[in-house]
Amino acid sequence: MTINDLLQYVQDAYAALTGLSMIIVDYDGNPVTKVSNMTELAELVLFVEKKGVASFFCPRELAIDGRQRPTVVPAGHFGLKSIIAPVLVDGRAEYWVWAGVFVEEETKELIGDNAQKWTAAIKQADALPVGAVEAKLNEIEKMAAICGELISSERRKQKYHEYGQLLKTAVTDHSAVNRMDKLLHELRKMDECLDMALYIEKRQQGWVVVATNGEKAARLYGKMIDELFPPLSFPEMSLCPSYFQNVALDPRFSFFVRHGIRPKAMIIYPAIYEQKVEGWVIVGSETASSLPAAMKPLGAALVQYEHLLVKCAAADMKMNRHFMRLTMLMEIGRAMHVVQNDEEIVRMMTQFALELAYGDFVCTILYVNGKAVTVHEGAISAEMASCYQEDVLRHYGRSIKQVAKSQVPSLRQVGDKTVMEVPFFVRDGYYGVLAVHLKETDEAKEAEVYVTALVAVGVMMMNSAAQDGSGQTVNVQMLSEQLTSREMDVLELLVQGCSNREISERLFISVHTVKNHITNIFQKIGVNDRSQLIALVYQLSHRRHESS
């Protein structure tokens, strides 16, 4: 049953109770219900000809703004009366009840006989004494109050349904690339008055606006928040949503006013993880002096849920990165075993350390019987690498061999760069230092784990090669000379870790054709698995680098 059907039932009941014709209209006179208990006199009043077009009663034309109680007003002809009652929805008159038509007992004799077409209808109308009119006013007021509560209840129900849809969308839709932008967009759907939403996050330079939604809010993107901002100046309110009114007049929110935004009402939601505030989401309105109470818990739930999703996504990415790096570490170990050449193993260590992406460059110095061999990758020139080699000698001095045996990683400032140095010892006369540039020092712990593991694998393979002495000789030149261009394409995707299906999709060939190409590659090069192919690609990269 719709709200209009409910209003019609209430109107029919009160029309029968009061004996008056009734209709509910909006401020412009548009009918919301059908006329109940239509009488001849009511029909004359409601459908009187006006410029040839039938016209309903129109509250706007009667200038009855601001009235909070039912009122007796003239109705179409001298001496005829009706009752107008405002239907208050959230304290504001949005609809009006019209009830009539009746004649007041004191004025019926003054109407006269010149009423023409009104005469017969007027004679049939009851003349109501003052007491009866007052009683009907009271009944109509009750009816208007019931209608107002029904409309308010229906709107609350609709709003809560919309809130439920917002929560449902948040729970089921995980497709958004930028979840914070999506969250701000969804939060503004809580109420049509919300014209701004933004997210503040702790950065190195302080608390900064890192996401916005709304035309004016975009002005704040990248701006630092004042220390007067309430969650900063009052830490005790940080863990709970906070509601503010008359914001533009509050000096603590001068940050917004300075950028041409004058909010009247605002809610601040904390984004919390492990009892620590990691950011704040703000929604506000420049037009509404107050916001619905339900927005406070609903917004808090949305913000916290999305923040946890972001944390889970970050954890998944970190876990996937760990699995990928562990897989790569195992593959690089197999490749080193195939190469069995000290300098080539050091180069592979250096290249893999750069692929870990902790910084811009990696530099490895291998001392072979007192002679230094420097291998470097990334944004470091040969001259810089040479300078670093000299710096290492100065820093460690004659104790470098003993330091290498300890294999204890350390952070060191080299110029304006922070590097993690991992010393390593292979055997007498063979030792060195692998240095990895770190952009973020808070990644040092993770970098230490992977880099030391990489060095340990490299040292083990160099020792194995020395003990074996029968390393496999690889003719790298045959890759470009004996493989076809299509086989080279397949080879490139193979060493990237692509499956046969992925290779077929990228090269637009069948899986069966991919398998044939792989078989041909293995036969031409003389290898048995992908690990050996990785070793060959590293050697090929080294040779091309040297030739260029």
Q: In three state form, how does the secondary structure of 354-368 look?
A: HHCCCCCEEEEEEEE
**For 179-315, which CATH superfamily applies?**
GAF domain (3.30.450.40)
Q: How do the residues of the chain divide into helix, strand and coil, expressed in percent and rounded to 5?
A: 50, 25, 25
Question: Cα separation of 523 and 399, whole Å?
Answer: 49
Where along the chain do its domains lie? 3-157, 179-315, 340-468, 478-547
Residue 95, beta-bridge partner list:
26, 87
Per-residue pLDDT of the chain (548 residues), as tens digits, is 788 888 999 999 999 999 899 999 888 888 899 999 988 888 877 876 554 444 556 777 666 666 778 888 877 677 788 899 999 987 888 899 999 888 877 666 666 554 556 777 777 777 788 888 899 999 999 999 999 988 888 887 777 777 667 666 666 665 555 678 888 888 888 888 899 999 998 887 788 999 999 988 999 999 988 888 888 776 666 678 889 999 888 888 888 988 999 999 999 998 888 778 888 899 999 998 888 888 888 888 888 888 877 777 777 777 887 888 888 788 788 778 777 778 888 988 898 888 888 889 999 998 888 788 889 998 888 888 888 888 888 888 777 777 877 778 889 888 888 999 999 988 888 888 999 999 888 888 888 888 888 888 888 888 877 766 544 444 445 566 678 888 888 888 887 777 888 899 889 999 999 989 888 887 777 677 776 666 666 555 554 455 55
Tokens 């950028």 map to which residue? 259
Fold classification of 340-468 is Beta-Lactamase (3.30.450)
pLDDT at 382: 87
Kindly report the pTM of this predicted structure. 0.49
CATH of domain 3-157: 3.30.450.40
Neighbour-count burial of 184, counting CB atoms closer than 10 A to its CB (0-12 exposed, 13-18 middle, 19+ buried) = buried
DSSP state of 442: G
Tokens of 293: 């109470």
CATH of domain 478-547: 1.10.10.10
pLDDT at 9: 92
CA torsion angle 229 234 238 240 (round to 10): -110
Question: Cα separation of 490 and 469, whole Å?
Answer: 32
340-468 and 3-157 share a CATH fold: yes
